[in-house]
Structure 1
Amino acid sequence: MRRPVAVVALTALVVAGCSGNDSPPTAGPSTAPSSSVPITPTEQPSTSEDTPSETPTPTPTPSNTPAPNCVDQKLQTLTLREQAAQLIMTGISASGMTSAERSVVQKQRPGSVFLLGSSGSQEHTRAAMASVTSAATVNGIRPLIAADQEGGQIQRLKGAGFDRIPAPTTQGMWSSAKLTARAQLWGSQLKQAGINVDLAPVADVVPNSLKSQNAPIGKLDREYGNTPGDAAQGVGAFVTGMRQAGVMTSVKHFPGLGRVRGNTDFSSGVVDTITVRGDAYLQPFADGIKAGTAMVMVSTVTYTKIDPKNRAIFSPTVIQGMVRGDLGWRGVVITDDVGAAAEVASVPVGDRATRFVAAGGDIVINAKAGLTATMVNALVAKAQQDKAFAAKLTSSVQRVLTLKQEHGLVTCG
């Protein structure tokens, strides 16, 4: 039997950090709950890109001038193009880079990569990831290497040395202690293989009434529970175990895919007409943050009761207002896939990156390696033309480098 978990007030959180709609390799709206997470919404930011206020220049006092920290030092060594590349997570083959992917990684030096398809053994994967690290490292800054290792139908790494992970619906029936211990084991296997990010866990809540109709989550048994409390318990335990193994996680897909019908990997025009700002279904994201997640992943769905004019990844209301405001999150915000997903196919490739960063996001997941240069070029061009956007890009790079430094991926001094 599951024990109920008390709703965590998002405003009380102290901030401690792929493709979410993956389908298996072969692969009417419910009523919103009456209860809600006690959030006092902050003022919703406008969609304009206001230039940050300037910090007054202090009177020169050499003896009191602090030395630049590691992140600032590294940021100063990067060209604008290298900074922009730190914001792209490029998809590569889990079994090792193809010649085309290697060329992209060597030329563009994306700050992160994530694995597609299935891998070989843990030993083979470790060798392949060492090659990736060598190709992507720039100025002592190593890449984030991520995999979708949720369990059940969504598990990239399955070869010798990797346990087969039960579906989250099964994990959600375990005690928190058991799930944390198992997640720590799975995380240690990833760490030994050279993977430092698990793009999990799913924090979406799928109500029982929609499970059979919910293509991205419910039909694939990716949810930890059918209530916010049950899902939150599983999310917190999974994040804790991975963190104890030294592997970063990304709670996904804010503000939730549990009440939609279409899968954005294969369908466009997917909308959520139920979720509201301060919704009770946001509790698992809050608990994931409390447990120490490294990133928050934002979905590509449009939430008509939150921001009917923008997909969540392009919405300042969602990213700045809810993630950074209501949740109090100051870390890295990452997209669901915007490289191959059908949901964003009509959006120009470069705009997928610039609109996300303009809205307050940081890392862009791109499943098509060949699109990497286009995204980097777009970020550079907009930063050169727009000082307000350039400031946002710099802030995003600082957050990414800070996360990397915290996990030993930045060499300083």
Structure 2
Amino acid sequence: MRRPVALLALTALAVSGCGDSGSTPTAGPSTVPSSTVPTTDKPTTPATTPATTPATTPTTTPTPPQTQKPASCIDQKLQALTLRQQAAQLIMTGIDSRGMTSAQRTVVQREKSGSVFLVGNGGSLSSTRTEMAAVNAAATVHGIRPLIAADQEGGQIQRLKGSGFDRIPAATVQGTWSSAKLTAAAEQWGRQLKQAGVNVDLAPVADVVPRSLKAQNAPIGQLDREYGDTPEEAAQGVRAFTQGMRKAGVATSVKHFPGLGRVRGNTDFSAGVVDTVTVRGDADLRPFAEGIAAGTSMVMISTVTYTKIDPDNRAVFSSTVIQGMVRGDLGWRGVVITDDVGAAAEVASVPAGDRATRFVAAGGDIVINAKAGLTATMVDALVAKAQEDKSFAAKLTSSVRRVLTLKQNHGLVSCG
């Protein structure tokens, strides 16, 4: 029997990082999690005041001259980007893992896609590095380089496995390793990605697949993508993998919130996929909270409809899921990203432009679009919506700010 977890407990877990290992990773200059927000402690007022004041003490405190603070790097970049360029920062365009096709290059160069992700099997580490250099040249705008992402989970889901890349075992195997062993391995896999010019791993999978459903669960269980069949087992794998990638300086994305472990259909190939079990504050959400505590860079939202959470909207279009659960219950302040909404069958009935605007309106940031040809349509829709709706325009700006902050934390923003 699965019992809900209190929301405060999940929030505390996300903040404290408490888990089986009890450890919190330290971040280098380029690996600070995108959720990090600096705080300033206010000085404490003394509890008592001296009874007498020396005669030399002035009765008033001189006011220091007011100086205008220079605009931050992120503010400078926001001001430099046109509205269209800002919108493009929110689109992750699919390209061939072996390098951009002519059509893809045209899209990335013309639209200045803020991110790309690799589709299909790639080549060697050396050839990938060359091709990713071309991506940087095509997509960089105002000193802002693109996020370059790959599904490098292991097992059947490993885009880059040519010469120079280790063959990564499936998550079901990784989940049997000690935390120390998995963290060390993930750090090595991450270093290979970084050497190849890839700065994001769209992993780890935080979905919990009950043992009784594994054979029927097409998106995760049938592909051995889960770290375990209990929240505790999955959380340990998610935490260790995330920490290893973070040590390598590679951004990660825990996925697919609020979980694909209880569905049957794969949203890439099936429509109408529904979860009728998962509830807000569910015990199976623990691996996502652990991923956040371990320093993940993004939280990925699934395209499934969760009838006990928001029966009227797919998760990617649900403010209840994104604003209420991810940003509220889990306290996540960083980047929220979609599962693919470009080629996925689940969203085929939704106009392409609406897929982007509805996600951003719900509180999301980066839209994964496997069909490069839809990039301009999505950018057009974001621009048009921002021009006609001030509230939406403010949300778009906030999303771009979160994306630029993530990029800055990973050394992808150059400030003059």
Same fold (TM over 0.5): yes
**5+ residue gaps in structure 1?**
1-6, 17-60
Q: How does 1:208-223 map to 2 (within 5 A)?
A: 208-223=211-226
* Alignment partner of 1:170 is 2:173: yes
Contact 1:122 1:192 in 2 (8 A): yes
Distance 1:66 1:15, change over 3 A: farther
Contact 2:109 2:139 in 1 (8 A): yes
* Alignment partner of 1:9 is 2:1: no
2:66 corresponds to which of 63, 68, 90: 63
Give the secondary-structure state (helix, strand or coil) at the position aligned to 1:300: coil
Offset of residue 297 of structure 1:
0.1
* Alignment partner of 1:253 is 2:256: yes
* 1:14 maps to amino acid: V
1:295 corresponds to which of 298, 303, 306: 298
- Give the share of equivalent positions with the same residue, in percent: 78
Offset of residue 360 of structure 1:
0.1
Give the secondary-structure state (helix, strand or coil) at the position aligned to 1:9: helix
* Alignment partner of 1:286 is 2:289: yes
Moved >4 Å (runs of 4+): none
Q: How does 1:365-376 map to 2 (within 5 A)?
A: 365-376=368-379
Offset of residue 62 of structure 1:
7.8
1:324 paired residue number: 327
Contact 1:15 1:328 in 2 (8 A): no
Give the secondary-structure state (helix, strand or coil) at the position aligned to 1:113: strand
Offset of residue 65 of structure 1:
2.8
Give the secondary-structure state (helix, strand or coil) at the position aligned to 1:146: strand
Give the secondary-structure state (helix, strand or coil) at the position aligned to 2:300: strand
Offset of residue 67 of structure 1:
1.4
| 1:123-172 deviation line (CA, Å, top 9, x unaligned) | 00000000000100000000000000000000000100000000000000
1:20 paired residue number: none
Q: Please, what TM-score do these two structures have when normalized by structure 1? A: 0.87
**5+ residue gaps in structure 2?**
1-7, 18-63
* 2:382 maps to amino acid: L
d(CA) in 1 for partners of 2:125 and 2:263?
36
d(CA) in 2 for partners of 1:265 and 1:12?
31
Q: Please, what TM-score do these two structures have when normalized by structure 2? A: 0.86
* Alignment partner of 1:104 is 2:99: no
Q: How does 1:101-250 map to 2 (within 5 A)?
A: 101-250=104-253
* 2:258 maps to amino acid: P
| 1:167-212 deviation line (CA, Å, top 9, x unaligned) | 0000000000000000000000000000000000000000001000
Q: How does 1:339-350 map to 2 (within 5 A)?
A: 339-350=342-353
| 1:75-121 deviation line (CA, Å, top 9, x unaligned) | 00000000000000000000010000000011001100000011111
d(CA) in 2 for partners of 1:96 and 1:162?
17
1:52 paired residue number: none
d(CA) in 2 for partners of 1:62 and 1:271?
61
Distance 1:212 1:380, change over 3 A: same
Paired positions, count: 363
Give the secondary-structure state (helix, strand or coil) at the position aligned to 1:258: coil
| 1:4-53 deviation line (CA, Å, top 9, x unaligned) | xxx9632343399xxxxxxxxxxxxxxxxxxxxxxxxxxxxxxxxxxxxx
d(CA) in 2 for partners of 1:205 and 1:9?
16
Contact 1:15 1:330 in 2 (8 A): no
d(CA) in 2 for partners of 1:265 and 1:312?
15
Contact 1:11 1:326 in 2 (8 A): no
Contact 1:11 1:328 in 2 (8 A): no
